[in-house]
Amino acid sequence: MTTILSTWKEPGEVAIRAAWDKRQSDGGLIDTLEAGLAAAELDPNLIMIGLGSLPNSEGDLELDASIMRGSDLMCGAVCAVRNIVPVISVARKVMEDTPHVMLAGDQARRYAIEKGFEPRQTLTAQVINRWEEWCESPERIKVYEHTHSDTVTMLGLTNGKMAAASSTSGLPFKQPGRVGDSPIFGAGIYADDEIGAAGATGNGEELWKAVASFRAVEFMRQGLPPQQACEAVVQQMLRRQAKAQELPCVVFAMNRDGEVGAATTKDTFDLWICRDGDMQMQSFSA
């Protein structure tokens, strides 16, 4: 049995279908999650991940991605990368071909180019228009934290092996150089075959402060099922982090037995679940 999870209705569906296609053509778990996220990144109609997603406040698109293998805790990430897609594939190269965990900014882009990625224009006319409208709007003077961005975070389980991965353009119109939880191990993703895997989406600052994904895995290590583990993370965030009450912060998890859970501090969250090709979307409310 292979179980794959993917966040948010629209980008999550693109990702989970591509991931399952890869799995069926004998892809390993890492190939499967990479294929899912790469498909979502390369779809210019998804304006929150990869090509054609919303830029930072200066109109530059900076992408973050991460991937982690639960068998040996190997992981790789990139953050604030411009003009390269799919960045999930660069994160995988960091994991497999370097002794490091993360490469950042222009140096990550240089590394990608050395590895054969072609730099390209990642903005589309549609998002340039959105950015120009934002520049003219009163929204501009507000703090960016009240929006969130349909980050695609994925978890996978097959034959007792687990993996987690995430890709995002971060918060729309963010401050240049801002990095959220998604490429940070323990915050945006975590996977440990001994226990399970977890991922996050929503306000990256709050999720990072909570080390939300690692915390969910640790709650499962203490014996909680995934649903209760995620609820415990959210309860703790609501109790300790005033802003988590105002900003949607989601954590979701899967244990070694394929049980799934999710919780959010606010609003509703959609999670795609694929069990050997049977796909369903489940909604979770605060």
Residue 233 DSSP one-character state: H
Closest CA to 216 of 153, 151, 276: 153
Burial 57-75 (b: 16+ CB within 10 A, else e): bebebbbbbbbbbbeeeeb
Q: Which of 180, 186, 196, 226 binds ligand ASP (CB under 6 A)?
A: 180
Nearer to ligand ASP, 5 or 224 (CB): 5
Nearer to ligand ASP, 147 or 227 (CB): 147
Site string for ligand ASP, 214-233 (x = CB under 6 A): --------------------
Q: Which of 55, 186, 202, 261 binds ligand ASP (CB under 6 A)?
A: 202
Q: Which residues are catalytic?
A: 151
188: its two tokens = 């945006």
Site string for ligand ASP, 140-159 (x = CB under 6 A): --------xx-x--------
Nearer to ligand ASP, 63 or 254 (CB): 63
The order of strands in the sheet holding 102-104 is: 102-104, 75-81, 63-69, 161-168, 152-158, 2-7, 268-275, 278-285
Stretch that binds ligand ASP, among 19-27, 74-82, 175-183, 228-236 (CB under 6 A): 175-183
Question: Residue 201, interface with ligand ASP (CB under 6 A)?
Answer: yes
Residue 125: strand, helix, or coil: helix
Question: Residue 2, interface with ligand ASP (CB under 6 A)?
Answer: no
Question: Residue 170, interface with ligand ASP (CB under 6 A)?
Answer: yes
Contact yes or no for 168/182 (Cβ under 8 A): yes
SS3 per residue for 8-74: CHHHHHHHHHHHHHHHHCCCCHHHHHHHHHHHHHHCCCCCCCCCCCCCCCCCCCCEEEEEEECCCCC
In the complex, what is the shortest distance from the CB of residue 151 to ligand ASP, in angstroms, rounded to a whole number? 3
Nearer to ligand ASP, 196 or 204 (CB): 204
Nearer to ligand ASP, 89 or 213 (CB): 213
Closest CA to 108 of 123, 89, 127, 133: 89
How far apart are alpha carbons 234 and 2 in whole angstroms? Answer: 27
Question: Residue 55, interface with ligand ASP (CB under 6 A)?
Answer: no
Q: Which of residues 121-140 bind ligand ASP (CB under 6 A)?
A: none
Question: Residue 266, interface with ligand ASP (CB under 6 A)?
Answer: no
Question: Residue 204, interface with ligand ASP (CB under 6 A)?
Answer: yes
The number of beta carbons lying within 10 Å of the beta carbon of residue 181 is 33
How many residues line the site for ligand ASP (CB under 6 A)?
13
Sites of contact with ligand ASP (CB under 6 A): 148-149, 151, 168, 170-171, 180-182, 201-204
